[in-house]
Amino acid sequence: MWTAAVTELRVFFTAVMFLTRIPCPRWVGHDPAWLARSTAYFPLVGVVVGLVGGAALWAAARVWPPFVAAALSTAATVRVTGAFHEDALADSCDGFGGGWEPAQVLAIMKDSRIGSYGAVGLALVLLTKVGALAAIAAADAGTAARALVAAHTLGRWSSLPLIWGLPYVRQDEAGAKAKPFAAAVTGPRLAAGSALSAGVTAAALAPLGPAAVVAALALAAAVTALAARYFRRRIGGTTGDCLGAANQLVELATYLLLASAWLRR
């Protein structure tokens, strides 16, 4: 039992190392099999990132106006993740915006240089995220901090059904290296990650009432389903950049929901 617990802890830390820049203990080590198993812990990594952002927002709101606090909390989450998902969003905007055929879309996404579609898309998403968070923080900084936890958890959760339900379409060297990971989400791992995400979201948004919890979960599922449909239609499946873009869209949708007038009625 102790050995199994240590192994699971290593698997969790593997997810942390993959998705963030947070230092992990040296004894964790590296094992490709742990990366494959770590997908179920992606939402839990989202909890960690959300807590970092929430703490930054709550502290900054004691000193600065809501917009500044929201911007600083966003900067904190970008720093702790190394802009991992933001980079994927920019690549996806460039690829889907500038490409027509699947091969062309994939080639553009692979280019490390950012284009006009990527720059505009990333700027608009970041600006809207900060604006929505600022609107939530203007009413209550604690609610904005909880929104960060829920949004980052649901954003990381979106990768699980996309990996589970769509084929990984890259066939180059990078795709070959990622293929074991791309096929790693089994039914039980998807169920475990989904249950974890739902539980964290319910706990984070409980003060807003059950309607807010149900709406956040339903919206995350809807955005993920729409992203899956779009990715399948455009390129026949998914890539790492697609997963990161979906992550950002689910996170943004959660903030927009919680900042909406519907929840303040």
pTM: 0.93
> Tell me: the pLDDT tens digits for 230-249?
999 999 999 989 999 999 99
Confirm if 185 and 165 have CB atoms less than 8 A apart: no
Nearest in space to 107 (alpha carbons), one of 131, 125, 91, 84? 91
Mean residue pLDDT across the chain: 90
> Tell me: the pLDDT tens digits for 108-140?
998 888 889 999 999 999 999 999 999 999 999
What pLDDT tens digit does each residue of the chain (265 aa) get?
556 677 788 888 888 998 999 988 887 777 777 777 888 899 999 999 999 999 999 999 999 999 999 999 999 999 999 999 999 999 999 999 988 899 999 999 988 888 899 999 999 999 999 999 999 999 999 999 999 999 999 999 999 999 999 998 876 644 444 555 666 788 888 999 999 999 999 999 999 999 999 999 999 999 999 999 999 999 999 998 999 999 999 999 999 999 996 665 5
Q: Which residue has the tokens 């505009």?
A: 120
Q: What residue type is 185 in one-letter code?
A: V
The residues with which 238 forms a beta bridge, in sequence order, are: 168
Q: What is the number of other CB atoms lying within 10 angstroms of the CB of residue 206?
A: 12
